[in-house]
Each structure stands twice: as C-alpha cells, then as structure tokens.
Amino acid sequence: MASVEITRFRVPAERADALLAARPAMLHDFQTDRAGFLGARLVRLTTDEWLDIVFWASPEDFAESRQRGGDRPGIQKFFSLIEAVISVEEGTTTSMDLP
C-alpha cells in the first residue's frame, strides 16, 4: 500500500491559470528530487478551492518531503500561488492503482 497525502487549499480565481502553468515544474521537481514520490492528481473543487492528491511509497517519504517543503524552484513557485492551506490529511491506498 502507498501513502496518500490529501491537501485542500485556496487559490484566488485570478491565479488559477498561473497555478496550472506552474504544475509541470513542481511535478518535475518532485519526480527528480523526492524519494518515494509516485504521482499526483490535482482536482479543482470550486472557483478557488483545490485538492492535491499525492501518492508516496511510504509515510516516511511523505514526512521527509513535508520537512523539506518548497526547497526546489518549481515547488516553490507552485506553493507561492496558494493563498491558504485549508487542510492536510494522510492515508493509505487500498490497492496499487496509482496515477
């Protein structure tokens, strides 16, 4: 089973295009620099609320990534567009059907 990070956050509607444009560089940084990163899905809930569902090989990989925060340019750019983090939760998958 993989660890799943679910982050709900707010981005003003006028920043949505910039957020989507910043996403590929953020994912590239995660793929090349974060142990255990398996993939991610971004879901727009409302005009200004989003869910980022990120899959990690283990809870330890997720914890290490959280500790490092936005230490890479692509990650930092994506994070800078977020107005507020509403919640962060962690769980496990019930199968290996990952993104």
pLDDT tens-digit readout, 1-42: 789 999 999 999 999 999 999 999 999 999 999 999 999 999
Spans of all domains in the chain: 3-91
pLDDT class of 98 with cuts at 50, 70, 90: low
Question: CA separation (Å) from 67 to 5, 34, 63?
Answer: 14, 11, 6
Q: Which amino acid is at 76?
A: Q
Question: CA separation (Å) from 50 to 15, 29, 56, 58, 94?
Answer: 12, 20, 19, 24, 23
3-state secondary structure of 36: coil
**Distance (Å, whole) CA 36 – CA 49:** 27
Tell me the whole-structure pTM to 2 decimals: 0.90
Domain over 3-91 is classified CATH 3.40.50.2000: no
pLDDT tens-digit readout, 35-56: 999 999 999 999 999 999 999 9
